[in-house]
Amino acid sequence: MPGRALAGAAAALLASTALAQGRAPGALVQLNAGQATLGNGWRVLTLPQQKPPVTQYSAEVLDGRAALRIDARASYGNVAHALAGAAPATLRWAWRVDQPNTAADLKRKPGDDSPAKVCLSFDLALQQVPFLERELLRFARKRSPEPLPAATLCWVWSHAEAPGSLLPNPYTRRVRYLVLRSQADAPGRWFEEVRDVAADFRAAFGDESETVPPVSAVLVGGDADNTGAQSLAFVAGLRFDGTVAATPAAGK
């Protein structure tokens, strides 16, 4: 499993004392006295020994919304918050893309970039991972300073892929993409998303587990390191509603 993909999955986890134990994190962006600031427990994480520049994240009030600005310039990096406990029943957020990445192609490694994505990492039992991927993951976990999730689902804003497309990350099947928006969606317009986490997990990873595992992290990001291009996006109002029944992971 390529180091970039493994490190990217590791970046979905926070090595921090500010963990959310069995509850949803605070607001992604908080509005304090008219100023937008990143919420507590969120951190920008990068790849180990990363060579590309870091995607720039900043808090901004846009159209009256406290939003996370995602400014990718041939860059990589994620904003993440560690979690522990059952997966949320529903995941909600609003997002917009003001500058799309026209070179992006999620089916190919050279095009594996997106202006915006929202991801959940799941504590999938290792014995449910196919043998070869399981052994690669075990090897990678021994070498990584961060815990590596066995399953990460990302809802992404693509360029050419049609909404509803479900495809693996071209570097690793441990990360899978569900395309929600594409170039056909008007730039500079807010779109509201409401996702049934259990249904989407089963669509993406149902070949490995019909039971939705506990979550280990939530991730928001945008990157342009593979294409060397630029993109600009905003995410606001990220929140969880309820929880789904979860079975503790085993065989890790």
- Distance CA(53)–CA(83), nearest Å, equals 27
Q: What is the pTM of this model?
A: 0.86
With a pLDDT cut of 90, the percent of the chain lying above it is 62
- Distance CA(3)–CA(101), nearest Å, equals 24
The residue ranges of DSSP E strands in 63-190, in sequence order, are 65-73, 78-85, 88-99, 114-122, 151-157, 166-168, 175-181
CATH 3.40.50 fits 3-243, yes or no: no
Q: Is residue 80 a contact partner of residue 42, using CB atoms and an 8 Å limit?
A: yes
Q: How confident is the model over 171-199, as pLDDT tens digits?
A: 989 999 999 999 999 899 999 999 999 99
Amino acid, res. 53: P
Q: Which band of pLDDT confidence, cut at 50, 70 and 90, is reported for residue 24?
A: low
* Residue-averaged pLDDT of the chain: 85
Name residues whose C-beta falls within 8 Å of residue 175's C-beta, 6 or more positions apart in sequence.
Answer: 5, 8, 9, 119, 152, 153, 154, 168, 169
With a pLDDT cut of 70, the percent of the chain lying above it is 86
Look at residues 8, 69, 78 and name the one whose alpha carbon lies nearest to residue 42: 78
Name residues whose C-beta falls within 8 Å of residue 109's C-beta, 6 or more positions apart in sequence.
Answer: 170, 171, 226
Model pLDDT, residue 245: 63
- Distance CA(140)–CA(5), nearest Å, equals 11
Q: How confident is the model over 131-166, as pLDDT tens digits?
A: 888 888 888 777 776 677 889 999 999 999 999 999
State yes or no: pLDDT of 130 exceeds 60: yes
